[in-house]
Amino acid sequence: MPVETLIKEGDCLDVLQSQPSSSIDLMITSPPYADSRQSTYGGIHPDRYVEWFLPRAEQFLRVLKPTGSFVLNIKEKVVDGERHTYVLELILALRKQGWLWTEEYIWHKRNCYPGKWPNRFRDAWERCLHFTKEKKFKMNQDAVMIPMGDWAGSRLKSLGKNDVVRFDSKVGSGFGKNIANWVRRSMAYPTNVLHLATECGNRKHSAAFPPALPEWFIRVFTDLGDWILDPFAGSGTALKAAKGLGRNAMGIERCPEYCALAQEILNDAQLVLMQPESHYVTAL
Ligand SMILES: C[S@@+](CC[C@H](N)C(=O)[O-])C[C@H]1O[C@@H](n2cnc3c(N)ncnc32)[C@H](O)[C@@H]1O
């Protein structure tokens, strides 16, 4: 099935005004971080981050379908020796705006930035906040099952009496210990921690996603032919992933050079961003 992939130049706040309501199945994005990259594409002061984000999020809420998902990759920076609270404040403000804060995924950066600080260790994770409009939304859990490996033998063998009691109680709180609900043949459902290497600087954007990150969320939250939106598209990694997975995609990017870069990456038929599924494999 042929898919459409569009890149629009401008501020997503303006560009989205003409986008029809309830037209997007998944929004996945990594917005400009607070102040941290002023030398490249500008930043927003941490104290004004929520105020800057909310009008844009209002448009995101409008264009997202009721069954859709919004995945926001973000991490609070350190300001004056402590973690700033703007991400926490943003979560609360988005809930007030009408979003449900459905889940939080952790992107564990397997090759995080090296260094040594006197008061903290290397920062090896970022949030992928999952917001929805409704409690019931599209989710294809089977699309990201992972091989169980040796874990099956050791963990299942050691199921104790309490495991069985909990299964029997049928509390309805999820899959519980009913192994059949979450293990199929040699495959199991993953956790909410994604172990992925960061993009290794082989492309021309300083904060590009590792391709496997948008790819994973696209597989989980959309079907073939659905529409993906990245309102802060950068070099277009999410758009390329969407195209490769047979989804339509629209990216919005304020900076003309990055629009051109994204277009170049999208046109490059040789550039396959997809990672093998084993990339996600992790100890359970
Ligand atoms: C963290 S980067 C996104 C990188 C992208 N995920 C990738 O893989 O290349 C954020 C991008 O948002 C763009 N940007 C900043 N403010 C914007 C706005 N108001 N509307 C659209 N794009 C914006 C920046 O120019 C930057 O390229």
Residues 59 and 160 in one domain: no
179 versus 254: the higher-pLDDT residue is 254
State which of 38, 230, 254, 259 you would mutate to test the pocket of ligand 1, scoring each by most atoms of that ligand within 8 A of its C-beta.
254
Residues 133 and 61 in one domain: yes
**Alpha-carbon span 99 to 92, nearest angstrom:** 9
Residues 130 and 154 in one domain: no
**Ligand 1 site, residue 255, Cβ cutoff 6 A:** yes
pLDDT digits (tens, 9 = 90+) for 6-64: 999 999 999 999 999 999 999 999 999 887 555 555 678 899 999 999 999 999 999 99
97 is written with which tokens? 């705006």
**Ligand 1 site, residue 208, Cβ cutoff 6 A:** yes
**Alpha-carbon span 215 to 53, nearest angstrom:** 24
**Alpha-carbon span 32 to 280, nearest angstrom:** 26
For atom 26 of ligand 1, the residue with the nearest CA is 234
Range of the domain at 154: 149-188
Q: What's the CA dihedral at 252, 257, 258, 261 to 10 degrees?
A: 120
Residues 105 and 167 in one domain: no
What pLDDT sits at residue 198? 77
**Ligand 1 site, residue 235, Cβ cutoff 6 A:** yes
Alpha carbon of 254 to those of 15, 59, 107, 133, 158: distances in Å?
10, 16, 26, 26, 54
112 is written with which tokens? 């995080």
**Alpha-carbon span 173 to 10, nearest angstrom:** 45
Task: Give the H/E segment covering residue 59.
Answer: helix 49-63
**Ligand 1 site, residue 252, Cβ cutoff 6 A:** yes
Q: Which of 67-71, 189-193, 280-284 has the lowest mean pLDDT?
A: 280-284
Ligand 1 geometric centre to CA of 32 (Å):
6
pLDDT (mean) for 217-231: 98
Ligand 1 geometric centre to CA of 280 (Å):
25
87 is written with which tokens? 């991400």
φ, ψ for residue 39, nearest 5 deg: -70, -20
Q: Are 74 and 127 in contact (CB under 8 A)?
A: yes
Count of domains in the chain? 2
Can you give the CATH number for the domain in which 238 is found?
A: 3.40.50.150
What pLDDT sits at residue 187? 85
What pLDDT sits at residue 283? 36
If phi > 0 it is left, if psi is from -120 to 50 it is alpha, else beta; for residue 265 that is alpha
Q: Which residues contact 44 (CB under 8 A, 6 or more apart)?
A: 32, 34, 35, 52, 53
pLDDT digits (tens, 9 = 90+) for 132-145: 999 999 999 999 99
Residue 175 reports pLDDT greater than 60: no
Residues 63 and 170 in one domain: no
What pLDDT sits at residue 33? 82
Residues 30 and 137 in one domain: yes
Residue 185 reports pLDDT greater than 90: no
Residues 226 and 267 in one domain: yes
Residues 77 and 110 in one domain: yes
Ligand 1, residue 233: give the atom nearest the CA: 5
**Alpha-carbon span 146 to 216, nearest angstrom:** 12
Amino acid found at 262: A
Residues 204 and 184 in one domain: no
Amino acid found at 192: N
Residues 179 and 63 in one domain: no
133 is written with which tokens? 């409009």
Alpha carbon of 204 to those of 36, 113, 232: distances in Å?
18, 18, 16
Count Cα atoms within 13 angstroms, Cβ side, for 17.
6
**Ligand 1 site, residue 234, Cβ cutoff 6 A:** yes
pLDDT digits (tens, 9 = 90+) for 150-168: 666 666 666 666 655 555 4
Which pLDDT band holds residue 278 (cuts at 50, 70, 90)? very low
**Ligand 1 site, residue 207, Cβ cutoff 6 A:** yes
Residue 264 reports pLDDT greater than 80: yes
66 is written with which tokens? 């009721």
**Ligand 1 site, residue 260, Cβ cutoff 6 A:** no
147 versus 101: the higher-pLDDT residue is 101
**Alpha-carbon span 12 to 233, nearest angstrom:** 10
Ligand 1, residue 252: give the atom nearest the CA: 21
Residues 167 and 119 in one domain: no
pLDDT digits (tens, 9 = 90+) for 243-262: 999 999 999 999 999 999 99
| Average pLDDT of the residues of the chain | 85
Where does a domain end: 188, 218, 245?
Answer: 188
Which pLDDT band holds residue 201 (cuts at 50, 70, 90)? low
Residues 46 and 161 in one domain: no
Q: Which residues contact 139 (CB under 8 A, 6 or more apart)?
A: 69, 220, 221
Q: Which residues contact 101 (CB under 8 A, 6 or more apart)?
A: 91, 94, 95, 129, 130, 131
Amino acid found at 124: A
